[in-house]
Amino acid sequence: MTKPLVALLSGAGISTDSGIPDYRGPNGLWRRDPEAEKLVTYEYYMGDPEIRRRSWQMRRKNRTLEVEPNAAHRAVAELERAGFPVRVITQNVDGLHQLAGLSARKVLELHGTARSVVCTECRARGPMEDALARVEAGEEDPSCRECGGILKSATVMFGERLDPVVLGDALAIAKACQVFIAVGSSLQVQPAAGLVGVAADHGARLIIVNAEPTPYDDLAEEVVREPIGTALPRLLSAMTEEYGEG
């Protein structure tokens, strides 16, 4: 049996079991500390050295680079190993899909990656761990070693636009897939959420796995409210059995 192209849109909820907090949920970071949003807002970050210093300290304390993939991330990588054409479109910046073993070229990071830094002037990139080592060594606001420009995380901050190439690729996948699974996303942030409607309009079987209701639940063939760490592996395992392995 021919295996369907499976597209998976992942949001913060898929990574909470790895210890990364959700941002917009009932206990999300932005609800608990509205001031924290300034630390990842481009205009504030570029215009205020104190915001940059606080932002670097936040990244140093968060230890995002030390977290490990969980059962949900591993289940997606296992689906690829079972012979399914898999594409992940993620709103997350943690790189955990790749760490779980999914081919990097099959992961589209809509909001960039927290594992790299980029210069706002010359666009030179480097590892986040190198920049954090400089912060640990006493540099409060490390600058670009190439040109002296302001360094930032290679994530898309509030006030920045998404990479049009990445977004275009995501749109093409949403149109082409036979199965579209939205997991751990509130589906309230555009244009990412709109990919769900595009997939449904193009005939994809839509499955939504999320603790809270989403605006797209009525379009879904199946809505799963159970914890993602158990629900997604079970769902993908059933899909593997349905189409056969290998």
Beta-sheet strand order (sheet of 205-209): 107-109, 86-90, 6-10, 179-183, 205-209, 222-224
Is 111 a residue of the active site?
yes
What's the token pair of residue 44?
A: 């504030």
For the annotated catalytic residues, the residue numbers are 111
